[in-house]
Structure 1
Amino acid sequence: MTIQIYLVFMLTFIIYLIGTLAYSTRIVGIRTGRIAVSFAVFNVFVLIQRTANTIQAPLLAKTIENGINTGNSGNLLYIFRWIIFSITLATIAGAILMPTFIKVFNKLVTSFSVYRSLPKLMIHAFSKSGIEQFRNSISIPKRENLSELRNFRKTPKKVILLNVIAFSISSVSILSSLYAGCLSPNLRTTCSTLASVVNSGSTIFMVIFIDPYLSMITDDVIKGECTELEFNRCIIFIVAGLIVGSILAQLILVPASNLIVIIAKLI
């Protein structure tokens, strides 16, 4: 494997780790009462996560060309599956680190009211006192929180299912388009341009179905119609859905690539 591929592994892990940890800002918003600030931080992280995976295409370009020239698409598929596996590892790591980052984001949101500037807040975060606060915030998931996974009957099953599907599609949107170009070299330009369409479609899917539900249940907590425990349970299942979605992405990678080839031929 080349340096570019290892760089893709590392960046993919970081991107999806950030995307998973972003959900902890919603819990912080409930606990601090600073909903608008917390959601602003959430939107920044999600925007980074949902758009930054486009860097995969240029970094993998040479590997794809080599696969097309040698006719060795199997090796390319092997690399893509490892990239998706790095997404699974990132979501699992994000779930484990979430208690720590809930405490960190809690302090960041509170400090934002003092500094009132994201650049100043970031400078403070990397200062000596900021690093010390992060060290003191390190914690592990509590057993009682993990036990909430047993209460599946009390969760919005349709929302969880839609979240799994949307995340699995977004995880393979770029990779399936690139692999489709390898399966049909004469249409690889058309296949690669379809990557942005697939990625945008999954993002719109999340914006229409998942984000509004989380906003609605947040309002219910503020109005007292929903408990904080129920809200936390929903976030736990959303994050668990990300892990399941990344595993599902392994299964749909090849079918999605074949579908893109069919669409490219029809255009």
Structure 2
Amino acid sequence: MGFLTDKVIYIALFILIIHTIETLAYAVRLSGARVGLIASALSLFNLMVIVSRMANMMQQPFTGSLVDTAPSSDTLSFVESQYRVIIGASTIGTLIGIILLPTFVALFSRAIIHLSKQKGSIPSLFKTAFSLDYIRRGLNQMHFPNLSYLKGVTLKNVPKRLFFINMVVTSIYTIGVLSALYAALLAPERASTAIMASGLINGIATILLVVFVDPKISVLADDAINKRGSYLKLKNVSLMMIVSRFLGTLLAQILFIPGAEYVAWFTKFIV
């Protein structure tokens, strides 16, 4: 367990928090549909996405430093073990997000209403959210999912294609940077090219998410508000997308090495 250094633990905790935030972002649309303020909800959703993306960029140099500080002997297996711990942290973070989902649907509902009353002032929202009174009330809202919360949830009405696309995109996003860094070890003569490919990989994953997944959920949220669809269907699809995301982090463990080998191979055509 020599690979499990303090730095790996800190990075893993950071990744855990990032994936918890990204999972809880699904709660924002549910809250928006619940209180009938979908535009305000999307504003809060975009804020959470930006925060998680920025946090992800911040941890990348630290993750890259694990390659620089790896021992000269048995480097590949040492770095692989460290990166698999980090990928595992994304799975745990997603699971924590699932457990906290009912609580944050309630909290985000209050936050969206407050954001609407404050004419879209994010600083005012933060000021309220971090006040002792709001935190106290938030703790009172905490409750874990139970069987009644899952009542009516089924895969029947969930587009299978959407489910698998979200799973694959999540796995690509989870390992994009890690596979590129590992590819630098597989092809040291093209290390810089492999590392810079991480931006392209994550960019493609983000585009796929925006094109194929996000619009579908947004339309369901609009339908729920405008009575063309039901809140239960939106909740059903949102929960299945979260399950898909969880499975995507598990799939990332399988795709990690093949992804790195593909990046290392692809760099031949760039250099």
TM-score bracket for the superposition, by shorter chain length:
over 0.9
SS of match in other structure, 1:47: helix
Aligned to 2:198: 195
What residue number does 1:21 align with?
Answer: 24
State the AA in 1 paired with 2:227: G
Question: Deviation string for 1:238-259 (max 9, x for gaps)?
Answer: 1001100000000000000000
> Residue 43 of structure 1 aligns to which amino acid in structure 2?
N
Distance verdict in 2 for CA 1:207–1:103, change over 3 Å: same
Determine the C-alpha separation between the residues in 1 that align with 2:223 and 2:117.
28
Q: Is the 8 A contact 2:111 2:125 kept in 1?
A: yes
* Secondary structure of residue in 2 paired with 1:152: coil
> Which of 114, 136, 148 is equivalent to 2:140?
136
Equivalent in 61, 65, 69 of residue 66 of structure 1: 69
Distance (whole Å) between structure 2 residues aligned to residue 204 and residue 52 of structure 1:
19
User: TM-score when scaled to structure 1?
Assistant: 0.95
Partners of 1:129 and 1:222 lie apart in 2 by 30
In the aligned structure 1, how far is the partner of 2:132 from the partner of 2:223? Answer: 39
In structure 2, the residue matched to 1:122 is 126
Deviation at 1:148, TM superposition (A): 4.3
1:176-255 correspondence to structure 2 within 5 Å: 176-255=179-258
Unaligned runs of 5+ in 2: none
Q: Return the letter of the residue paired with 2:100.
A: L
1:80 and 2:72 are equivalent in the alignment: no
Give unmatched runs, 5+ long, in structure 1: none
Q: How many residues align?
A: 266
Q: 2:99 aligned to 68, 82, 96, which one?
A: 96
Report if aligned partners of 1:181, 1:261 keep a CA contact under 8 Å in 2. yes
Deviations 1:128-159 (A, max 9, x none): 2111111111011131333545x212211111
Q: Could you tell me how far apart the structure 1 residues matched to 2:116 and 2:65 are?
A: 47
SS at structure 1 position matched to 2:228: coil
For residues 106 and 254 of structure 1, the distance between their equivalents in structure 2, rounded to whole angstroms, comes to 41
CA distance in 1, matches of 2:122, 2:264: 43
